[in-house]
Amino acid sequence: MKIAVLGGDGFVGWPTSLHLSARDHEVHILDNLSRRWIDTELGVQSLTPMDSIQERTRIWHQETGRRIHFHLIDLARDYEVLKAWLAEHRPDAIVHFAEQRAAPYSMKSDRHKNYTVNNNVNATHNLLNAMVEIDLDAHLVHLGTMGVYGYSSVGAAIPEGYLPVGVKTLSGETARQEILYPANPGSIYHMTKCLDQLLFQFYAKNDGLRITDLHQGIVWGTHTDETKLHQQLINRFDYDGDYGTVLNRFLIQAAIGYPLTVHGTGGQTRAFIHIQDSVRCIDLALESPPVRGERVKIFNQMTETHRVRDLAELVARMTGAKVAYLPNPRKEAAENDLVVKNEQFLELGLDPTTLAEGLLAEVVDVAKKYAYRVDRSRIPSISAWTKDIAPTIERDPEGKRLKSVG
Ligand code: USQ
**The predicted structure's pLDDT at residue 398:** 85
Catalytic, out of 115, 151, 181, 189:
189
Helix and strand tally (H, E) in the chain? Answer: 12, 15
Domains of the chain: 2-392 (3.40.50.720)
Residues in the chain: 406
**The predicted structure's pLDDT at residue 400:** 56
pLDDT in tens, the chain (406 residues): 999 999 999 999 999 999 999 999 999 999 999 999 999 999 999 999 999 999 999 999 999 999 999 999 999 999 999 999 999 999 999 999 999 999 999 999 999 999 999 999 999 999 999 999 999 999 999 999 999 999 987 889 999 999 999 999 999 999 999 999 999 999 999 999 999 999 999 999 999 999 999 999 999 999 999 999 999 999 999 999 999 999 999 999 999 999 999 999 999 999 999 999 999 999 999 999 999 999 999 999 999 999 999 999 999 999 999 999 999 999 999 999 999 999 999 999 999 999 988 889 999 999 999 999 999 999 999 999 999 999 999 888 886 544 444 3
Does 189 qualify as catalytic in the annotation? yes
Name the maximum alpha-carbon separation found in the chain. Answer: 70
Q: CB 305: neighbour CB atoms within 10 A?
A: 17
> Distance from the CA of 245 to the center of ligand 1, in angstroms?
5
Contact 311, 319 (CB under 8 A): no
Residues 6+ apart with CB under 8 A from 305: 217, 269, 270, 271, 272, 338, 339, 340
**The predicted structure's pLDDT at residue 404:** 46
d(CA 264, CA 163): 31
> Distance from the CA of 308 to the center of ligand 1, in angstroms?
10
Residues 6+ apart with CB under 8 A from 369: none
Q: Which atom of ligand 1 is nearest to the CA of 187?
A: 23
> Distance from the CA of 247 to the center of ligand 1, in angstroms?
9
Residues 6+ apart with CB under 8 A from 149: 158, 181, 183, 184, 215
**The predicted structure's pLDDT at residue 185:** 98
> Distance from the CA of 58 to the center of ligand 1, in angstroms?
33
Q: Which atom of ligand 1 is nearest to the CA of 328?
A: 11
**The predicted structure's pLDDT at residue 359:** 86
Q: What is the DSSP letter of 71?
A: E
Which residue of 218, 247, 269 sits with most ligand 1 atoms within 8 Å of its CB, as the best mutation to test the pocket?
Answer: 218
Quick check: CB of 330 below 6 Å from ligand 1?
Answer: yes
> Distance from the CA of 246 to the center of ligand 1, in angstroms?
6
Q: CB 189: neighbour CB atoms within 10 A?
A: 24
Does 193 qualify as catalytic in the annotation? yes
Quick check: CB of 301 below 6 Å from ligand 1?
Answer: no
**The predicted structure's pLDDT at residue 356:** 86
d(CA 355, CA 364): 13
**The predicted structure's pLDDT at residue 399:** 63
Quick check: CB of 102 below 6 Å from ligand 1?
Answer: yes
Q: Which atom of ligand 1 is nearest to the CA of 241?
A: 8
User: In 3D, which of 18, 129, 136 has the Cα closest to residue 76?
Assistant: 129
Q: Which atom of ligand 1 is nearest to the CA of 263?
A: 7
Q: Whose CA is nearest to atom 30 of ligand 1?
A: 218
Q: Which atom of ligand 1 is nearest to the CA of 260?
A: 8
Task: Flag whether the pTM goes above 0.95.
Answer: yes
**The predicted structure's pLDDT at residue 403:** 46
Quick check: CB of 145 below 6 Å from ligand 1?
Answer: yes
Helix (H) or strand (E) holding 17: helix 13-22
Does 258 qualify as catalytic in the annotation? no
**The predicted structure's pLDDT at residue 358:** 81
**The predicted structure's pLDDT at residue 49:** 97
**The predicted structure's pLDDT at residue 405:** 45
